[in-house]
């Protein structure tokens, strides 16, 4: 399985990824500079890293984790589904929800984080009426209950692949790297 340093794209996609990375880095730098205090804490270009951690399926069209290191590290986790590292889809909603949370746990660990660092969660279910309570039960086994992240729960008609019943994306804030 390719890791974060193994190229998995074609030359045409390499240009698109490089362009996206330059754009994101520039946007982060502009946002940091705009929000900087008079002590100019956010000077210089932000360090942006795109990774696909070992232990998760390797996507060809996006990164599972985007880490921004500056005055703090903002980590954006791509929407995770009930697919394990081998590409196998878990059977049933509860099993998919557990796999989603395990994928998020793996992604967070790849940047030295955990669920205590998660500040925002966006969750997409194909049937809220049937599955919202089960999702909340599973989610509550993972998230920091003392400081619950901001959350959005949305029902969608369909996710990226047939059989996907849930997808969850997250944003985490971690201390800066030394």
pLDDT reported for residue 48: 82
Tally DSSP H helices, then E strands, for the chain: 3, 6
The answer to the question of residue 92 being in a domain is yes
The answer to the question of residue 45 being in a domain is yes
The answer to the question of residue 4 being in a domain is no
The answer to the question of residue 23 being in a domain is yes
The answer to the question of residue 1 being in a domain is no
* CATH number of the structural domain spanning residue 148: 3.30.1330.40
The CA distance from 148 to 165, in Å, is: 23
The CA distance from 49 to 169, in Å, is: 17
pLDDT reported for residue 46: 64
Range of the domain at 127: 11-174
pLDDT reported for residue 173: 93
- Three-class DSSP labels, 42-73: CCCCCEEEEECCCCCCCCCCCCCEEEEECCCE
The answer to the question of residue 51 being in a domain is yes
The answer to the question of residue 5 being in a domain is no
Helix pair 93-109, 128-140: axis angle to 10 deg: 40
Residues of the chain short of pLDDT 70, as ranges, are 1-46
pLDDT one-digit tens code per residue, 62-113 = 788 888 877 889 999 999 999 999 999 999 999 999 999 999 999 999 999 9
The answer to the question of residue 119 being in a domain is yes
Which tokens belong to 72? 């703090």
Whose CA is closest to 142, among 175, 98, 178, 78? 98
Whose CA is closest to 165, among 68, 58, 60, 93? 93
Q: How many domains does the chain have?
A: 1
């Amino acid at each position: 399985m390719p890791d974060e340093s193994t190229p998995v794209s074609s030359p045409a996609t390499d240009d698109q990824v490089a362009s996206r990375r330059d754009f994101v880095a520039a946007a982060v730098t502009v946002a940091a500079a705009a929000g900087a205090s008079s002590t100019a804490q956010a000077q210089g270009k932000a360090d942006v890293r795109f990774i696909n951690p070992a232990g998760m399926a390797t996507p060809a069209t996006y990164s599972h984790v985007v880490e921004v290191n500056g005055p703090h590290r903002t980590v954006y986790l791509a929407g995770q589904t009930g697919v394990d590292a081998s590409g196998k889809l878990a059977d049933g909603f509860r099993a998919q929800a557990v796999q989603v949370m395990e994928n998020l746990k793996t992604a967070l660990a790849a940047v030295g984080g955990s669920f205590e660092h998660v500040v925002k969660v966006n969750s997409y279910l194909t049937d809220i009426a049937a599955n919202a309570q089960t999702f909340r039960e599973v989610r509550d086994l993972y998230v920091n209950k003392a400081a619950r992240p901001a959350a959005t729960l949305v029902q969608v008609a369909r996710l990226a692949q047939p059989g996907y019943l849930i997808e969850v994306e997250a944003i985490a804030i971690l201390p800066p790297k030394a």
